[in-house]
Amino acid sequence: MRRLHIIDVFSADPFLGNPVAVVLDAEGLSTADMQKIARWTNLSETTFVLPPTVQGADYRLRIFTPRSELPFAGHPTLGSAHAVLSVGGGGDRVQLVQECGAGCVVIIPSRDQGTSRYRLRLPKAVTTAVSAQTVAALVDVLGGEIDRSREPRVIDVGPKWLVAKMPSVDQLLAITPALGAMRALEESLGITGVTLYAESSVGIEVRSFAPSQGVDEDPVCGSGNGAVAVFRRLSGELQLGEQYAAAQGQCVGRHGRVEIELGLEGDVWVGGACVTTLSGSLAG
């Protein structure tokens, strides 16, 4: 029997935010076993906690969508840190280091009036311009116009997101993408998915789609929000030292809040609350 926790991330309240299934004691599971379990949970990500293989790391994490393995993802990183600390004590830890396919990721835990909160430092991003044909294909897939003052870009932070800005929050929330065509576009570009955002009066609103990974719409996406922060910095919307809040998930009934900070040295920090909604054992 292996311990299994489900953690809601980017929410202090159970049944909101984005759930991640965390399998502790994952030693002995093969890659095929892990993928089978991820298909079974059918969450956007399922993680597996293993002993570290590099000096300085507290644990190694493997991250799976229902269809494939990711080198890094945001909400699984935060939720897995919460699960690890929940079962191992360590409430006074000031830092965790997670080893994953994208390298070592620093996570800072904290407590705020009884709420568990975590921040991660996003892996260094690689950005790529896209062609006019790709922009046209994206607009066709979305069935609505994007903000052409900000040309879409692929932002690679482990997962690769095609990021675009929408003209307004109302237009962002109203779109119904053609998911079959979006999957084909993702596969043709070799990307994980599409993340869209629009500015609001209190921050930004975000939506993330990854049908090629078996995730039609990700409820609240840490790496997608991190990619948006990189995109906003490149476009001049975000300056060093700035912080803002992003809302995501209302279109799928999972209202979450993501806290973003652009450090003075250009590092992107992604954070939010975590809460355990299920603790149990996985058979087999």
* Average pLDDT value for residue range 266-278: 97
**Interatomic CA distance for residues 179 and 191, integer angstroms:** 14
Name the residue type at position 47.
T
Residue spans per domain, the chain: 2-121+272-282, 126-266
- d(CA 73, CA 140) in angstroms, rounded, equals 28
pLDDT tens sequence across 98-152: 999 999 999 999 988 889 999 999 999 999 999 999 999 999 999 999 999 999 9
Cα–Cα distance measured from residue 51 to residue 25, given in angstroms and rounded to the nearest whole number: 9
Q: Identical fold at 2-121+272-282 and 126-266?
A: yes
Cβ-Cβ contacts under 8 Å for 284 (sequence gap 6 or more): 2
Find where tokens 């909400």 sit. Answer: 75
Whole-Å CA distances, 254 to 20, 113, 155:
13, 22, 25
Residues 51-71: tens digit of each pLDDT: 999 999 999 999 999 999 999
- Report, as an integer, the average pLDDT of 243-265: 96
Taking only the tens place, the pLDDT of each residue in 205-222 is 999 999 999 999 999 999
Which option is the CATH number for 2-121+272-282: 3.30.390.30, 3.10.310.10, 2.30.30.40, 3.20.20.60?
Answer: 3.10.310.10
The yes-or-no verdict on residue 90 having pLDDT over 60 is no
Contacts with 221 (C-beta within 8 Å, 6 or more apart), sequence order: 18, 44, 74, 75, 195, 206, 208, 248
Q: What is the average pLDDT across 237-257?
A: 97
Query: Considering only CA atoms, which of 89, 94, 26 is closest in space to residue 62?
Result: 26
Q: What is the pLDDT of residues 143-202, one digit of tens each?
A: 999 999 999 999 999 999 999 999 999 999 999 999 999 999 999 999 999 999 999 988
Which tokens sit at 231? Answer: 């995109």
Catalytic residues: 45
**pLDDT (0 to 100) of residue 16:** 97
- Domain 126-266's class? alpha beta
Mean pLDDT of 70-95: 89
